Chain A
Amino acid sequence: MTDATVIGLSRDEMAARAALDIPDGSYVNLGIGIPERVAAFVPEGREVIYHTENGLLGMGPSPEDGAGDPELINAGKRRVTAARGASFFHHADSFVMIRGGHIDLCVLGALQVAQNGDLANWSTGTPDAIPAVGGAMDLVAGVKRIFVITQHTTRTGEPKLVKSCTYPLTSPGVVDRIYTDLAVIDVTDDAFQVVELSPGVEFDYVRDRTGGKLLPIPETPPEVS
Chain B
Amino acid sequence: MIDKRIANLDEAVADVFDGATVMVGGFGEAGSPIELIHALIDQGAKDLTVVNNNTGSGEVGLAALIKAGRVSKMICSYPRTANSTVFPELYRSGRTSLDLVPQGTLAERIRAGGAGIPAFYTATSVGTPLGEGKERRTIDGRDYVLEYGLTADFALIKCRRADYHGNLLFNKTARNFAPVMATAARTTVVQTVEVVAPGELDPECVVTPGIFVDRIVTVDSPALESELVALGVSYP
A residues lining the B interface (CB < 8 Å): 52-56, 69-73, 77, 82, 88-92, 94-95, 98-99, 123, 128, 130-138, 141-142, 168-172
When C-beta atoms are compared, the residue in chain A nearest to B131 turns out to be A137
Report the nearest A residue to B105, measured CB to CB: A138
Main secondary structure of the interface of A (DSSP, over half): loop
Give min CB distance, B206 to chain A, whole Å.
13
Nearest chain A CB to B149's CB is how many angstroms away? 12
Report yes or no: B226 in contact with A133, Cβ–Cβ below 8 A. no
Chain A residues with Cβ below 8 Å from B224 are 70
Whether B107 sits at the interface, judged by CB under 8 Å, is yes
**Which of B8-16, B26-34, B61-69, B194-202 is near enough to bind chain A?**
B26-34
In contact, A137 and B128 (Cβ under 8 angstroms): yes
Q: What's the nearest-Cβ distance from chain A to residue B193, in Å?
A: 11
Question: Which residues of the other chain, B, contact A54 by a CB distance below 8 angstroms?
Answer: 27, 30, 173, 176
Contact with A along B181-225 (1 / 0, CB 8 A): 000000000000000000000000001000000000000000010
| Most-contacted residue by chain A among B98, B171, B175 (CB, 10 A) | B175
Beyond A90-B176, A137-B102, is A95–B107 a contact (Cβ under 8 Å)? Answer: yes
Indicate if the CB atoms of A89 and B175 lie closer than 8 Å: yes
The contact string, 1 if C-beta is below 8 Å from chain A, for chain B 82-93, is 100001100110
Contact B78 A138 (CB under 8 A): no
Interchain CA distance A82-B171 in the complex, whole Å = 12
Q: Which of B79-115 contact A (CB under 8 A)?
A: 79-82, 87-88, 91-92, 98, 100-108, 110-111
CB pair A56–B124 under 8 Å, yes or no, is no
Instruction: Report 20 cross-chain contacts, Cβ distance below 8 Å, ordered by A residue.
Output: A56-B172, A70-B29, A70-B226, A71-B30, A73-B30, A77-B81, A90-B180, A91-B106, A92-B179, A98-B104, A99-B123, A130-B80, A135-B102, A135-B103, A141-B122, A169-B127, A171-B126, A172-B126, A172-B127, A172-B128
Partner of A73, one of B78, B92, B110, B173: B173
Residues of A near B88 (CB, < 8 A) are 130
**Chain B residues, Cβ within 8 Å of A98:** 104
- Of A94, A95, A136, most B-chain CB atoms within 10 Å: A95
Given A73-B30, A99-B124, A169-B128; A91-B80 close (CB under 8 Å): no
Say whether B28 contacts A92, CB under 8 Å: no
Closest to A91 in B: B107
A-B contact sample (20 more), CB < 8 A, given A52-B173, A130-B98 = A54-B173, A69-B171, A70-B224, A71-B174, A73-B27, A77-B29, A77-B82, A88-B175, A90-B176, A91-B180, A98-B104, A99-B122, A123-B129, A134-B77, A135-B103, A137-B125, A138-B102, A141-B122, A169-B129, A171-B128
Given known contacts A99-B122, A99-B124, A128 and B92 CB-to-CB distance under 8 angstroms = yes
